[in-house]
Amino acid sequence: MLPRTLTVWTTGFAVFATFFACDIGAQANPVYTSFDPASSTATFAAGIDAAGNSAGYYSDSTAVHGFIRDPGGIITTFDPPGAINTYGQSVGSGKVAGRYLLVNTGGKGFLRKTNGNFALFDPAGSVDTFPMSIANGAIAGYFTQGTGNFHGFLRDAAGAITSFDVPGAIHTHAMAINNAGVIAGSYLDSGGVVNHGFLRDTAATITPFDPPGSTDTMATAIMANGKIVGHYNNGNAIRGFIRRTNATFQTFHVPGSQDTEPTAAANGWIAGTYVHAGMLHGFIRDPGGTITPFDPPGSTRTAPSGINASGVIAGSYRDTGNVSHGFIRTP
């Protein structure tokens, strides 16, 4: 399928955050921009880079396709050669990493370059590949060889792929990489019940970790300074955490929420989801620690999935007609 380039008209909305407690601050006049590729029946934005390019995937009447939206609002849709479904997962410097499906096969990895060309890849022996994060041209993710176990992988900027596992893990899920090449993720231990976080440094040394009191840990993002962000279960509720480079932790949650799950982080900004009264909402935590809940206008379900160093968020929301749209939130 040939790439399709189009301009989508968007509308900005300025709203104030909803307060659940007096220690939650509001950011003045955030602007929400809703968007969809032409012919989309559901749009899911998965990430945003430092320049403001956002990427993700959308469905139409026939298939799922990838897209990239530039800072000016121009959306280019794409599919790797032969793909029957395409999922853009992460964007960095205008390059998109993701997963695509062929007829009668599992998922394969792709890198869409800024000129529109594709580099297609899989770790050795993979029958299903999940690229999750791109930074400085390197891609981290996980794959399975059909044995039921998942392994982590790193594809460097030159295209060389290294697979790895946390020692003793049943499953290893590499979820995020920063510009230095440090990887964060989670693994399922040999007991097959509890997940833990891990850090893989540039020397390939893997360090497992858990916030104090955690019964289950999921690392979802890593910042340029090496701080890792994710969520954990303390036995009573799901809380967010920041793992500092000295291996100490700061935990946080949206007041009133039993389920706070950070999904993205950059330059001290953190975005994620929380559940209140059975509904999924978004939140942003600024570098000073102030948490602001939010929902795009008309949203019945909000799912932030990416944030850049300027605090601009990309994500998806569901409207009252149960249709998903992409959104950009500018502080």
Distance of CA 127 to the CA centre of its chain: 23
pLDDT band at 12 (very low <50, low <70, confident <90, very high): very low
State the Cα–Cα distance between residues 48 and 89, nearest whole angstrom.
10
Tens of pLDDT, residue by residue over 121-132, are 999 999 999 999
pLDDT band at 105 (very low <50, low <70, confident <90, very high): confident
Question: Looking at residues 292-304, what average pLDDT do you find?
Answer: 98
Torsion sign (Cα): 171, 250, 310, 33: positive
- 272, 283 Cβ separation under 8 angstroms: yes
Tens of pLDDT, residue by residue over 278-296, are 999 999 999 999 999 999 9
**Phi, psi dihedrals of residue 131, rounded to the nearest 5°:** -70, 130
What residues have CB less than 8 Å from 261, skipping those under 6 apart? 218, 220, 231, 238, 240, 272, 273, 274
pLDDT band at 111 (very low <50, low <70, confident <90, very high): very high
Tens of pLDDT, residue by residue over 166-206, are 999 999 999 999 999 999 999 999 988 999 999 999 999 99
331 burial level (CB within 10 Å; 0-12, 13-18, 19+): middle
Q: How many other C-beta atoms can be found within 10 angstroms of the C-beta atom of residue 259?
A: 16
Question: Looking at residues 12-27, what average pLDDT do you find?
Answer: 36
Q: What's the chain's length in residues?
A: 331
Question: Looking at residues 308-322, what average pLDDT do you find?
Answer: 98
pLDDT at 27: 58
Q: Higher confidence at residue 3 or residue 26?
A: 26
User: Sheet containing 31-35: which strands, arranged edge to edge?
Assistant: 12-14, 31-35, 324-330, 313-318, 301-307
Asked whether residue 19 carries a pLDDT value surpassing 50, the answer given is no
The kind and range of the H/E element at 114 are: none
Asked whether residue 254 carries a pLDDT value surpassing 90, the answer given is yes
Query: Domains in the chain, ordered, with CATH?
Result: 9-35+97-109+118-330 (2.120.10.30)
Question: Looking at residues 18-40, what average pLDDT do you find?
Answer: 71
Question: Looking at residues 262-283, what average pLDDT do you find?
Answer: 97
pLDDT at 104: 86
Q: What is the pTM of this model?
A: 0.91
